[in-house]
Structure 1
Amino acid sequence: MKNTKRAFIVSIILMSLFHLSCSTVTYDSIYPALKDGQYDSEFPYRSTSNELEKISNAIQRIISSAFYRVYVFPIDANITLEELGGQKLEKLAEKVILIDNSSSGTALVIYSENGNVALVTCSHTINFPDTLIAYKADTKGNPTKFIESISIKERQVVYVAGFPEGSTVDILLDDPKTDIAILGRKYGVQSGVRFPSFKFKLGRAKDLEWGTFVYLLGFPMNNKMITKGIVSSPNKDEIGSFLVDAVINPGFSGGIVLAIRDGVPNFELVGIVQSVPEEKEEMLYPDITDKAAKYNPVIPYKGEIYVKKHSSIRYGITRIIPVEALIKLIEENKSYLVKEGFPIFQ
């Protein structure tokens, strides 16, 4: 009886070893390039849920709002920029209105220590011009040198949804050339504030190839989402920019792109989602200052009408900022960031 039981146990062990051996041989046979040191082009051979969940905890939704005072000049007053000089706009304007412009995007927590937190996002999600000038158009629709209105930015606020103490953060670095911005907030050591940050490896976008498989994480339309894509046009410029065929929506700017090198769980950050191609169209809108107003679609609108630019997105072509651009920006500003209490990637 004992011999029978012992033989049974031995057979189970041998079958297990055989199964593991076959699994290894199977993976090696099906994925011969899995351990070639390159980024993977095939769909992951096992679940990535645990790793992606950890990474998703490090991305945050951001909202940036700029508040403008708009000076609208009389329609028959032909005022040029040179003629304004040092004159007070209030005296020349026919009316003054207040408006706000807002944008949303995604940011990745790249540092969270000692009560300080830093995030990286796209510059265009938080960058609003200080002054906007609208010029009158002639009978053919061409802009003239005469000013129609001037908008002056009075203040700007950047929020990170869910952050404590008002959710506001400061702009530490803003580089429109690379379209990268770094945000930060000092809560203090005593606050005990600590956020999940990105703990995986920084990759190398220049190692990407045609057809490399990638994951993208962001907040399209204020929803945290994960999608996938295939790399096209790798190394399309000297800094290693590339394209991805993923379909994304507004709010994904600043999202992250992850590639897998030699199988799961070897995720690496290879880029930041920048933008998708879009076309601008000018459309007529009712009075945008009265946000509480309701309009009846069957009754002709007789109020004031404003022209506003409308964006039509061309989905399926997503521009990516290579991770090398982020690393370079941080290296060039290392001493400043350390001085401010944000020794990122050290």
Structure 2
Amino acid sequence: MKNWLAILSLFSIALILTFCSSTQQSASTESSGQQPQEEYSEYYTSAFPHKDISSQLKNAQQSVVRIVSTGFYDNYNFSDKAITLADIKTNNPGDIATSQTSAEESTSGTAIILGRNKQNSLLITCEHTVFFPDTMITYYKGPEIPEETYIESISIKKNQTNLVYTSSELQPFEVIATNPRSDLALLNVEFEQIGNLDLYPLTIEAGNSDFLQLGSFLYVLGFPKSYPMVTRGLASSSESWNDRFFVTDATFNPGISGGLILASDTNYETFEWVGMASSSTASREEVLVPHPQNDNYSRIIRPYSDSVFVQQKTRINYGITQAIPINQIKEFLNAQQSLLKRKGFKQLSTLQ
């Protein structure tokens, strides 16, 4: 019995000492007026958000706009397997073509507002959303036909229009710099009603894509299929990781190219700009389609009996999105500093 009393006494003394030590530590912290500091990792968190971040995303969305570019082409087809590029250069294509048509190709994307100079705004997007080649050529192929010798068709660009869509106006933009390798382009646009657009240069600081880790939680803001949307994904890394892109499982749809990608290394107290959505993997398929000019065909009323054409279609592999890392974007922007100064844009606040 005495042994039990002794053990109980020792246990009670230990509890008292622990309580006193904890109380003194708490009192010391309160007397100094300091709050316990939360430690943050330099890597972007892979944790799911534990707080309301809607206001931060809304602030970022005010720096994201929809863009559309359209290229207008004259198409020339040659049934004679004897037309070469030299013939095209020395003759009017329309004079030697078997048939001639006109066509237009459009691309839509997302752009991020980086700076402002009076009414002019500086935007960044993916180069492929604003690029249309001046000339496109297809050649006849066959076992006895020399490779890339005889032209089957040629498309020559006549014109190109570039437009920024906002809630209240539609404005043309100018492409002022491009880098096809990194898939980046800078745009200059003049908004007429800039005070009423609720559009502002991005205030979220550029981060460091070297600190993206496997599973880093990402938000992507853009205009997939022309809808203003926010989606989310996880960053992935592998042995093929390089400076040009990283991969995320965020859902990709046409129009989100150039979309703003955000991540947090402060448990969602703040966000940083870590990249831009660029492209998705896809496969090309050949499918049979009705005659393009057969307007009377209705597949509901009667079977189709006219000519059948082969058409190529692109099938997107959803859930595999390539993104341009912010370090690549910063290199591109720093290389354009002299151009930006000539255009009247000061040092970008997001890069400081």
TM (norm. structure 2) is: 0.80
Match of 2:335 in 1: 332
**DSSP 3-state at the match of 1:314:** strand
| CA deviations over 1:160-180 (Å, ceiling 9, x no partner) | 112777421110111111001
Decide whether the 8 Å contact of 2:171 with 2:191 is kept in 1: no
Which protein has the larger Cα radius of gyration, Structure 1 or Structure 2?
Answer: 2
Partner of 1:219: 223
Given that residues 41 and 213 in structure 1 are in contact (C-alpha distance below 8 angstroms), is that contact kept between their aligned partners in structure 2? yes
Mapping 1:194-213, distance limit 5 Å: 195-213=199-217
Q: Which piece of structure 1 moves more, 313-322 or 141-150?
A: 141-150
Matched, 1:63 2:65: no
Unaligned 5+ segments in structure 2 are 1-29, 31-35
Q: Name which of structure 1's ranges 335-344 and 274-283 shifts more when overlaid on structure 2.
A: 335-344
SS in 2 for 1:51: helix
Residue identity matched to 1:104:
S
> Equivalent of 2:344, from 313, 322, 341?
341
SS at match of 2:269: coil
* Equivalent position of 2:56 in the other structure: 51
Does the 8 Å CA contact 2:171/2:190 hold for their aligned counterparts?
A: no
Larger mean CA deviation between 160-169 and 218-227 belongs to 160-169
1:302 Cα offset (Å): 2.9
- Deviations along 1:182-205, one digit per CA (max 9) or x if unpaired, are 1112458x9757732211111011
Partner of 2:131: 127
Q: Deviations over 1:57-88 (max 9, x none)?
A: 21111111000011122x23521223434122
Task: Decide which of 72, 93, 99 is 2:97's aligned counterpart.
Answer: 93
Q: Does 1:154 align with 2:135?
A: no
Q: Show the counterpart of 2:304.
A: 300
SS in 2 for 1:71: strand
For 1:181, the aligned partner's letter is: A
Q: Report the counterpart of residue 7 of structure 2 in structure 1.
A: none
Partner of 2:18: none
- Partners of 1:118 and 1:39 lie apart in 2 by 28
The answer on whether the counterparts of 1:240 and 1:324 sit within 8 Å (CA) in structure 2 is no
> When the two structures are aligned, how many residues end up with a matched partner?
313
Q: What aligned pairs does 1:163-312 form with structure 2 within 5 A after superposition?
A: 166-186=170-190, 195-233=199-237, 236-239=240-243, 241-286=245-290, 288=292, 293-297=295-299, 298-302=302-306, 307-312=310-315
CA distance in structure 1 between the aligned counterparts of 2:342 and 2:305, rounded to whole angstroms: 57
Question: Superposition RMSD on alpha carbons, in Å?
Answer: 2.9
Distance 1:167 1:344, change over 3 A: farther
Q: Distance in 2 between matches of 1:259 and 1:243?
A: 14
Deviation at 1:122, TM superposition (A): 0.7
How far residue 238 of structure 1 moved from its aligned partner, in angstroms, is: 4.4
Cα separation, 1, equivalents of 2:290 and 2:150:
24
Name the residue aligned to 1:15.
none
Correspondence for 2:118: 114
Distance in 2 (alpha carbons) for counterparts of 1:170 and 1:185: 6
Q: Deviation at 1:55? A: 0.7
Change (3 A) 1:166 1:342: same
Give the Cα separation in 1 of the matches to 2:96 and 2:320.
46
- TM-score, scaled relative to structure 1: 0.81
